[in-house]
Amino acid sequence: MPSHALMSTTPSRLDVAGDLLTLLRDTSTEPRPDVQLEALTLAVAADLPVLLWGEPGIGKTAALNQLAASLDLPLTTVIASVHEPSDFSGLPVVGDDPAEQGVPMAPPDWAVRLVRAGRGLLFLDELSTAPPAVQAALLRLVLERRIGALRLPPGVRIVAAANPRASAADGWELSPPLANRFVHLTWTHDHEVVVRGLGGTWPRATLPRLDPEKLPEAVRFARRAVCAFLTARPPLVHRLPNSEARRGGPWPSPRSWDMTLTLIAFATAAGSSRDVLSLLVRGTVGDGPGLELLASLDRLDLPDPEVLLADPARAELPERGDLRQAVLDAVVAAVRARPEKSRWDAAWALLARAVDTGAPDLVVVPATTLATLRREDWDVPATIERLTSAVSLSRRADRAAARIAAGAK
């Protein structure tokens, strides 16, 4: 047999190496709870630009590749740091009669491909190493979805990734206008996810299932939550951080509150967990305002003090201590606002019910305040006797704990 025939049938060493690489890349996915991945997919479903922050090698790019594959979206990766501003704003193309027709701005080829496809995932990588001029050019792309004369179709989603400045090569802080256009998610690794993934099985990214029947109520709840919170905290409508580093992250503005409202509506309609909602809210308006808003969400579903005072015997008090404390304080405040003997008695009945169904120490402060509201002609209700021993015992326990702590010091 001729030697050239043997050479054509025998696989080369590179072919064998390619087969091995194919086997290594042959991985599967499985449904697995992943708070980070769920938050990312929820923001993508809400059509909000997302920025993943994480150390180099943490798996941001791999997560985006897996997300695109799971959602069946073509992935277009653009390394922001190696492009010029004109690559995002468009290159001027002089026509036959610029004085009459103007000078159109030609978009780059990747933008044309996205428009032709009508859908896709645009991944802007290495955002924190893009110089300020490039960041300025990206503003229109991220907010208006325009590149040159083209507008990206609604089926295109935008996700970016960045390394913290300390670990980025020639890194820059993000400009405040650009940072305020993103939902910021800190990307960390989960040991179990990494080990199982290296074994061949990664978590599967799926778009959230939105309950059609919950959509109107989800919108009403989101609007009520954000509007009630900002009514009580007007300074948080717009607060630009003082430090340059914090300006490059999430901070509250009318734009970011609008994104927060959208995310609350999507999370409510999807039945997402509190952990997922926390990541999204804090990643949009920052940790401080975000945590305040999350605390206020708990209080939106608290019972009306007037309803409790109308029928204290059937009152349902929250199980959580902080929420129960808030309800009891609200009841006392309602009596203070309209002091009447019947309402004062009903408040004592509520406090007695709270002692019977929960920790007595939560009643100490409301009971003390309620006692100061008594008028001279008001008889002391019999329920106070039931509370006296519980309140007295709680106070003695507090004093004993204080003595023990002092002795330990």
Average pLDDT over residues 59-67: 83
Long-range contacts of 351-357 (CB under 8 A, 24+ apart): 351/383, 351/387, 352/383, 352/386, 352/387, 353/312, 353/313, 353/315, 353/317, 354/317, 354/324, 354/328, 355/386, 355/387, 355/390, 357/317
Spatial contact of 168 and 240, defined as CB atoms under 8 Å apart: no
The answer to whether residues 233 and 291 belong to one domain is yes
Among candidate residues 249, 271, 300, the one where a domain is terminated: 300
Question: According to the per-residue pLDDT averaged within each range, which of 5-9, 27-31, 335-339 is highest?
Answer: 335-339
pLDDT at 391: 57
226 and 175, same structural domain?
A: no
Statement to judge: residues 230 and 360 lie in one domain:
no
What residues make up the domain containing 318? 305-408
- Are 167 and 72 in a shared domain? yes
Residue 256 lies in a domain: yes
Domain total for the chain? 3
H helix or E strand, kind and range, residue 142: helix 132-144
Same domain membership, residue 196 and residue 116: yes
Q: Which of 203, 224, 254 is the last residue of a domain?
A: 203
The model's pLDDT over 211-263, given as tens digits with 9 standing for 90+, comes to 899 999 999 999 999 998 898 889 999 999 988 888 999 999 999 999 999 99
Q: Tell me if 59 is assigned to some domain.
A: yes
pTM beyond 0.95: the answer is no
Q: Mean pLDDT over all residues of the chain? A: 84
Four-residue CA torsion sign, 128, 132, 136, 138: negative
Task: Identify whether residues 366 and 403 lie together within a single domain.
Answer: yes
Residue 8 placed within a domain: no
Supply 343's token pair.
Answer: 């309402």
- Of 3-12, 94-103, 397-406, which gets the smallest average pLDDT? 397-406
pLDDT of residue 289: 94
The mean pLDDT value for 339-343 works out to 91
Distance CA 323, CA 298 (A): 8
The lowest-confidence range among 89-93, 104-108, 307-311 is 89-93
Place of tokens 């999370």: 267
Show the tokens assigned to 287: 């940790």
Q: What percent of the chain has pLDDT over 70?
A: 87
Residue 319, pLDDT > 80, answer: yes
Domain end (from 300, 316, 344): 300
Residue 170 pLDDT exceeds 60? yes
219 plus 284 within the same structural domain: yes
Considering the domain architecture, whether residues 294 and 310 belong to the same structural domain is answered as: no
Please tell me whether residues 288 and 322 are part of one structural domain. Answer: no
If asked whether residues 64 and 115 sit together in one domain, one would say yes
pLDDT tens-digit series, residues 342-400: 998 899 889 888 888 887 778 888 888 888 888 888 887 777 766 666 555 445 444 54
Question: What would the pLDDT profile of 143-161 be if each residue is shown by its tens digit?
Answer: 889 887 789 999 999 999 9
Is the pLDDT confidence value at 1 over 70?
A: no
Q: Which residues of 386-406 are buried (b: 16+ CB within 10 A; e: fewer)?
A: ebeebbeebeeeeeeeeeeee
